[in-house]
Structure 1
Amino acid sequence: MSKHVYFVTCPKGVEYLLADELSTFGLGLVRNAPAGAWVDGSLEAGYRACLWSRLANRVILHIDEVAATSADELYDGVVHLDWQQHIPVAGSFRVNFIGENEAIRNTQFGAQRVKDGIVDRFTMSGGKRPAVEAKTPDVTVSARLHRGRLALGIDISGHSLHQRGYRTEQGLAPLKENLAAALLLRAGWPEIVAAGGDFVDPMCGSGTLVIEAAMMALDIAPGRRQERFGFEKWLGHQPDIWLNLRQEAEKRAYEGKQARIPGFLGFDQDSRVISTARNNAQRAGLDGLVRFETRAVEELALGDDRAKTGLVLVNPPYGERLSDRKALASLYESLGDAVKKAASGWRLGVFTGAPEFGKSVGLRSFKQYKLFNGKLPAQLLLFTIDDASVRVPREPAVPGEVQPRIANEERAAMLRNRLKKNMKSIGQWARKQQISCYRLYDADMPEYALAIDIYDGRVHVQEYAAPKSIDEHSARERLAEALAVIPEALGIARDQMVCKQRQRQAGTSQYEKQDASGEFFQVQEHGCTLKVNLRDYLDTGLFLDHRPVRHWIQQNAHGKRFLNLFCYTGAATVHAIVGGASRSLSLDLSKTYVSWAQDNLALNRADPRKHRVEQVDCLAWLAAKPTPDQVYDLIFMDPPTFSNSARMAGVLDVQKDHSRLIRQAMARLSSDGLLIFSNNFRRFKLDESLAPEFDVEEVTASTLDKDFQRNPRIHRCWHIRHSA
């Protein structure tokens, strides 16, 4: 099946939701665009978008792009395209032209030049030409001018898809159907209805939110009742594919009504709009499935049989006149009082052009989305209706603490999209590899200099210290945005996320406690159980970038004597033991980490008589003359970049001291053994004098899993053997 390129348009602010929706139809994202998305896929997928998209305005089948820096150049590009394969000679067409530049400053003129080019293409060899029809053409040609390029396509939707066909009459402030669907998706309605929830709009107007919620919950295609689409008289149309899709939509609409029917309730104090809402629901095929009543918001009542969970979603008046806005605070207060009394345990969504009145609801909003209602900026505020969310006077902030807050929704949306994309790729890879701890994001975007790691469902966020060129206010603003976006994008509770600022460490500060939560938990890695702590120390107890090194040790440790120098929490030793090492010795200066390593070995049932962990200054231990029993077949050494602990024999500088450390370690390596030497100093250079003395092989590339390939300098690693 051939692949086509489509440009699908949508309301401003809905682009990322649209891209996600289109992917479910089999359309792959090519690139995002303002108020739309470029995607590719089969003709069937394009038809499916026309029938099933709840968010799109138009679906345009891309034909070609031509140069258009002048009117003549535009005409020349259009006239050379094969329009005979798209428009029937005996049919009709129209041109929808959008955009302008210095040469084409009028859309009517631009449309005329495109029309001329199409018509002349038909008549160049003396043939007949199709008619031009402005209102009900057989084919609509889309022409979108941007700078000096003109994108040409066939509008296979034929009309704006927000027009479902059920709304022939409307209230005073109508909400477009696809924007209503976007609000439902942002508010989490699909997940709520899957959990057995109901839906209520206490200021429903003409019922758009209620009807869209019902169609979504009952799996009714938005385009099910459309009489015709723009592709039906297009010459490339394949009726058999379309017939199958229509039959599938009818089957799904039938099956959607056979399962549990949620409650769909709409209230409004204006009886006239309630009558309109009922008529709209009837035209949508929802007669008897949704309920509308004349009732003021203060009278909101859901009955004793209400569901335990549900969504209250409302689009209250915006108060465009000053006198109206003065009354908004009391309206929002009434709304808050009503939902707290009638819908405890539910979620509340308020779509408003006056977000400053959101505080009057009396609940703390846990999420805010910037959108547009037409050209009017607006926000969707989300609240959990429970006692824990009741707004109380703010206590003084903890000095230095960053509170989650989105200052720039467009910038935050970029991070949200990147995290979701990474979760699909890296997260899927990790699941296939049965890896539960991995790096999801590593400063992928310069605006957000963070490392985000997943630890078996928990999230560890490290903020890299901002360069001096970035002012502190901007850095904190972006961190606040990240802290607001990460839980939502990854689908976790906020208390499952820990954030730290990562800075260059000196001396013993790397060992110092950052907190005293004592929140240890266990994770799995290639059959090993390891203890981690995300809160109390700068590091977590597990260096994720060394995962492939540990796995290699596990696969090659059978029957070997293993030495782990600067052992940290002993994770590499655990892998050696699980891999069958005959005995092991793990050494570290830190009492904290020695105890932690002992716990890790105990978790994996290591025999303490064969596998020992000792608190030792590795520098002094290596400098001493080795004893006969200090011979090992496999040695792992990953020293810190710098250390000057008072308990050490000297100061450790890995660049200056590594050659001495390597030679001392090699004195304890068996004749056919292997030393694995690694460090994470970015500017590290291995002493060239080691190569003539030993068999030295850099293996860094093989020690970087998929989650660290964006940052190949995270560490370097060598295999060092005695020369033959």
Structure 2
Amino acid sequence: MPDIIVTTSTGIEELLKIEIADLCDETDLDSIRVKPGQCRFSADLRAAYTLCLHSRLANRVLVVLASGRADDAEKLYSLASSVKWPDVFASDTPFLITARGANRELRNTQFIAQKVKDAVVDSFQEQQLPRPNVDKSNAYIKFQVRVFREHADICVDFSGNSLHMRGYRLDTGDAPLKEHVAVAMLKRSGWQPNGDTPLLDPMCGSGTIAIEAAMMAANIPPNMHRDMWGFDFYLGHKLRTWQAIEAKAEAQISKPKMPIFGSDVSMIVVEKAIENATRANVIDYIEFKQVDALQLRPPTESGQIVSNPPYGERLGEFASMLPLYDELGEHFKTHFANWQLALLCSEQSLLKALKLRAHKRYQLFNGKLECQLALYEMTEGNLEMFSVVDENSELANRLKKNIKKLSKWINKGHTDAYRVYDADLPNYNFAIDRYGDWVILQEYQAPKSIPEKVANERLQHAILHVPKALGIDPKKLVVKTRKKQAGKNQYEKNKTKPSREVSTRHKRFTVHEYGAKFWINPKDYLDVGLFLDHRETRQMFAAQCAGADVLNLFCYTGSVSVHAALSGARSVTSVDMSNTYLQWAKDNFVLNGIKGANVFEQANCIEWVAQAQQRKQCRYDRIFLDPPSFSNSKRMQDTWDVQRDHIALIESVKAILKPNGKIFFSNNLRSFQLDETAIVASGFTIQNITKQSIPEDFSRNQKIHHCWVLSL
């Protein structure tokens, strides 16, 4: 009897071993050898056919044709040549060879496959038969070479396409749960397909868990209606044996004993699940409906929930998921007493947010993503409303205190965009800004003395408590990370480069500030479009712009330009290197209904000033100068350092400043020192307005920026 190798995902091997023993009558459980991602045993082809049709946990069923030492290319070729290939498949059958694994001499899977392919072709030619053709896209028979250390197995793939691909899912959505992983979840959960316990998936997505459960309960083989098998063109195929196995399987199909329910918040997703269940011939056994999981009530008094809730792999997604899990935990405790839960998640911190005690945990891989399946019993211990995080936490109390302190200022209504927290507490190294109904939580890089795990726990704490303390929708909390770096990678506030130069207008909303309105984009860029610490600076500058020709260098999204124009400037010229920011500035002008002599120019600001010096008509009464701390943009020939280069910049700008003109010079480098001697030598008088320019909501941080008025 040949050896049979059955592959699966990591973490499912022991379940697969039990399934093989149950399906293959003559196979003893102890005779099945388990390795990561596979089970191996000896049996006849009947077992291989049975597993192809019935295995719900396997990816592939491989029948070993040759097995032996292959510690170099010649031994591998010799091993492959030991197979009588013309007895395996016909020369007019397109074939494909793939390889997995490597050793010291056989390091490349393509080379391994090529070497075995050479042996196959030579075998046909030695018997003076036509040379068979390799077809990577439409092979009728496939072979797999599996190399481990000095050993190799050469196998015929009975599966064809992976067995987890049942064929009922045409559209898997954004985060597909593989079918065999869904089955592993059901088996690990303890749910019995031949019992009477109701099953519910409240976040069913494309319906995979509910469909697989219905197929199990109805005793429908997972690959009953597969069009093509890997053994169809195998010359050792025993057709009658296969047909008998198929006929027996079809006769055993029956109606499930228990109800199965699936629901999702999206009607579009639910409709896809219904289509998938229809293709799988189990639509009559599942009740699908559209409902938010947080609004769902138990369809029966008790039962089993098996679900794969959404979880974000990126920081912003994770931030939106954490409050969801917090609410899910409360919802389960409130409405699902006496139920059992089995939830799959790739992030343990999200499971912690449920505030439920798991009695078992299993590691599973969904594709390459390592996940944890946690099992919960909604009995007395879990129904207690215990909390991992104290609602009267230090952070929540500080946020409430700050809001109370700012309340009189906020109620004046000058703006709905302001800072509510800026690393006030040593354990919570964040800045928290409110923009209308949205909140941006900016995580500063933790000191090296703080372990990463501790920093992550504090961030999770903040993500849970900030929406509650500020009374916002958790979905409108956006988390960003700011890292202070050295040298050319140093982070600087003003000129963070956009991730892509594209329009994102559909993701924006507006805030107001002293009668002006501005577009805010909360998610697409590190900065959202309005620097709140310059709110008072913009007012002080705008107050001197009536009837003036104004230049705004390094203009970003044009907030200074908008206020200058609204204050009656005769003309406003806005210059920035980024087309994205310039378009944003133009949109802000349109938003405020501003027309007239306003110019937007995309250019390196330093080079633009040099060119403006040559155009003698380019002269300005008021210039706003807020350069980055550091820049090494590809659009610049040299690097820019505000401490090193500020005098050269100011002197060049002076050449386009009218007599009696003024420059508002600002920057955000905390260690910055203005070279006052050089400034005075250039003919300027200096007024330090830093203290007056710090808004009330930034009063806790007097070093947020520096600002001077330089007058001729």
**TM-score scaled by structure 1?**
0.51
One-letter amino acid matched to 1:384: E
Q: CA deviation at 1:332?
A: 1.6
Contact 1:362 1:390 in 2 (8 A): no
* Cross-structure match for 2:380: 387
Q: 1:250 Cα deviation (Å)?
A: 1.4
SS in 1 for 2:122: helix
Deviations 1:246-266 (A, max 9, x none): 11121122xx21x63x22211
CA distance in 1, matches of 2:194, 2:129: 58
Q: In the alignment, what sits opposite 1:464?
A: none
Q: Is the Cα–Cα contact under 8 Å of residues 4 and 48 in structure 2 kept in the other structure?
A: yes
- Confirm or deny: 8 A CA contact 2:124 2:130 kept in the other structure: yes
Q: Which residue identity lines up with residue 201 of structure 1 in the other structure?
A: D
Once the two structures are superposed, residues 538-559 of structure 1 have per-residue CA deviations (whole angstroms, 9 ceiling, x without a partner) of xxxxxxxxxxxxxxxxxxxxxx
Contact 2:98/2:113, CA 8 A, preserved across alignment? yes
Name 1:17's counterpart in structure 2: 15
Q: Is the 8 A contact 1:177 1:208 kept in 2?
A: yes
In the TM superposition, what is the alpha-carbon distance from 1:393 to its structure 2 partner?
5.5
Deviations 1:396-440 (A, max 9, x none): xxxxxxxxxxxxxxxxxxxxxxxxxxxxxxxxxxxxxxxxxxxxx
C-alpha deviation, 1:31, in angstroms: 1.2
* Runs of 4 or more above 4 Å deviation: 391-395
Determine if contact 2:66/2:80 at 8 Å carries over to the other structure: no
What does residue range 293-332 of structure 1 map to in structure 2 within 5 Å? Answer: 293-303=289-299, 306=300, 308-332=301-325
Question: Which residue is equivalent to 1:281?
Answer: 277
2:264 counterpart letter in structure 1: D
Query: In structure 2, what residue type is equivalent to 1:199?
Result: L
2:340–2:377: 8 Å Cα contact kept in structure 1? yes
What's the CA shift for 1:394? 9.9
Say whether 1:272 aligns with 2:268.
Answer: yes
The one-letter amino acid of 1:300's match is: L
Give, in whole Å, the separation in 2 of the partners of 1:293 and 1:183.
Answer: 22
User: CA offset at residue 179 of structure 1?
Assistant: 0.6
1:58 aligns with 60
Check whether the contact 1:364–1:391 (CA below 8 A) recurs between aligned residues. no
Contact 2:57–2:183 (8 Å) recurs in 1: yes
Q: Which residue of 1 aligns with 2:99?
A: 97
* Inter-partner Cα distance in structure 2 for 1:176 and 1:394: 33
CA–CA separation in structure 2 for the residues paired with 1:285 and 1:227: 16
Provide the aligned C-alpha RMSD in A: 1.9
SS in 1 for 2:169: coil
Q: 2:353 aligns with which of 337, 344, 360?
A: 360
> In 2, Cα distance between the equivalents of 1:354 and 1:25?
34
Structure 1 counterpart of 2:568: none
Structure 2 match to 1:166 = 168
1:131-154 Cα deviation digits (max 9, x unpaired)? 322223232111111122221111
Residue pair 1:363, 1:391 contacting (<8 A) in 2 also: no
Determine helix, strand or coil for the equivalent of 2:362. strand
Task: Please state how far the C-alpha of 1:65 moved relative to its aligned partner.
Answer: 1.5
Q: Secondary structure at the residue paired with 1:297?
A: coil
DSSP-derived class of the 1:299 partner: coil
Structure 2 letter corresponding to 1:209:
I
Look up the match of 1:542.
none
Q: Distance in 2 between matches of 1:80 and 1:220?
A: 40
Question: Could you tell me which of 138, 141, 144 is aligned with 1:142?
Answer: 144
Please state whether the residue corresponding to 1:362 is helix, strand or coil: coil
Aligned counterparts, 1:667-686, within 5 A: none
Question: Per-residue displacement from partner, 1:211-253 (whole Å, max 9, x unpaired)?
Answer: 1111111111001121121112111111111111111121122
* Distance change in 2, residues 1:264/1:393 (3 Å): closer
After superposition, what is the alpha-carbon deviation per residue over 1:318-345, rounded to whole angstroms, capped at 9, x for unaligned? 2222232233332123222333344322
Asked if 1 retains the 8 angstrom alpha-carbon contact of 2:337 and 2:383, the reply is no
Equivalent positions of 1:598-613 (< 5 A) are: none
1:11-90 correspondence to structure 2 within 5 Å: 11-26=9-24, 27-28=27-28, 29-90=31-92
CA contact (8 A) 2:13 2:37 kept: yes
Is the Cα contact below 8 Å between 2:203 and 2:309 reproduced in 1?
A: yes
Q: Which amino acid aligns with 2:3?
A: V
Residue aligning to 1:339: 332
Whether the 8 Å contact between 1:165 and 1:226 is mirrored in structure 2 is yes
| Contact 2:66-2:79 at 8 Å conserved across structures | no
* Contact in 2 for aligned 1:12/1:34 (Cα 8 Å): yes
How far does residue 386 in structure 1 lie from its aligned partner after superposition?
A: 2.1
Query: 2: distance between equivalents of 1:70 and 1:360?
Result: 52
**Offset, 1:181:** 0.5
**1:263 counterpart = 2:256:** no
Structure-to-structure mapping, 1:372-411, within 5 angstroms? 372-390=365-383
Measure, in 1, the Cα distance between the counterparts of 2:308 and 2:50: 29
Give the partner amino acid of 2:164.
Answer: H
What CA deviation, in whole Å up to 9, does each residue of 1:662-715 have, x standing for no partner?
xxxxxxxxxxxxxxxxxxxxxxxxxxxxxxxxxxxxxxxxxxxxxxxxxxxxxx
Q: What is the CA–CA distance in structure 1 between the aligned matches of 2:131 and 2:224, rounded to whole Å?
A: 33
Q: Distance in 2 between matches of 1:134 and 1:157?
A: 16
Contact 2:189–2:375 (CA under 8 A) maintained in structure 1? yes
The partner residue of 1:179 within 169, 178, 181 is 181
Distance 1:394 1:336 in 2: 10
After superposition, give the CA deviation of every residue in 1:271-317 in whole Å (9 maximum; x if it has no partner): 221121111111101223212222111111234xx2x4421111112
SS at match of 2:164: coil
SS of residue matched to 1:203: coil
Alpha-carbon separation, structure 2, partners of 1:232 and 1:15: 27
Give the whole-Å Cα distance in 2 for the aligned partners of 1:250 and 1:344: 39
Compute the displacement of 1:66 (Å): 3.1
| Aligned CA distance change for structure 1 residues 251 and 144 (closer, same or farther; 3 Å) | same
Other-structure match for 1:717:
none
Question: Which amino acid is the alignment partner of residue 283 of structure 2?
Answer: D
2:212 aligned partner: 212
SS in 1 for 2:375: strand
Whole-angstrom CA distance in 2 between matches of 1:108 and 1:370: 31
Contact 1:138-1:234 within 8 A present in 2 as well = no
AA of the residue aligned to 1:229: W
How many residues in Structure 1 have an aligned counterpart in Structure 2? 384
Give distance in 1, aligned partners of 2:244 and 2:379.
46
Unaligned runs of 5+ in 2: 389-712
Secondary structure, in 3 states, of the residue corresponding to 2:187? helix
Distance between the aligned counterparts of 2:83 and 2:43, measured in 1?
22
- Given residue 343 of structure 2, which amino acid in structure 1 is its aligned partner? V
C-alpha distance in 1 between matches for 2:302 and 2:43: 38
**Shift in CA distance, 99/200, structure 1 to aligned 2, threshold 3 Å:** same
Letter aligned with residue 33 of structure 2: R
- The amino acid that maps onto 2:210 is V
CA distance in 2: counterparts of 1:344 and 1:392, whole angstroms: 13
Identify the match of residue 342 of structure 2 among 349, 355, 362: 349
In the alignment, the residues of structure 2 paired with residue 23 and residue 72 of structure 1 have an alpha-carbon distance, to the nearest angstrom, of 37
Letter in 2 for 1:18: L
Q: Take 2:310 and 2:335, find their aligned partners in 1: how far apart are those partners?
A: 21
Q: Distance in 1 between matches of 2:71 and 2:89?
A: 26
| Partner Cα distance (2:327, 2:385) in 1 | 17
After TM superposition, give the deviation of residue 373 of structure 1 in Å: 1.9
* Alpha-carbon separation, structure 1, partners of 2:198 and 2:148: 45
Structure 2-normalised TM-score?
Answer: 0.52
How many percent of aligned residue pairs carry the same amino acid? 35
Kept in 2: contact 1:207–1:281 (CA 8 A) = yes
**Partner AA of 1:14 in structure 2:** I
Shift of 1:103: 2.6
Of structures 1 and 2, the larger Rg is shown by 2
Q: Any idea what the Cα deviations from partners look like across 1:78-109, whole Å, max 9, x if unmatched?
A: 12322222112332321011122333332222
- Which residue of the other structure, out of 115, 126, 145, is the alignment partner of 1:124? 126
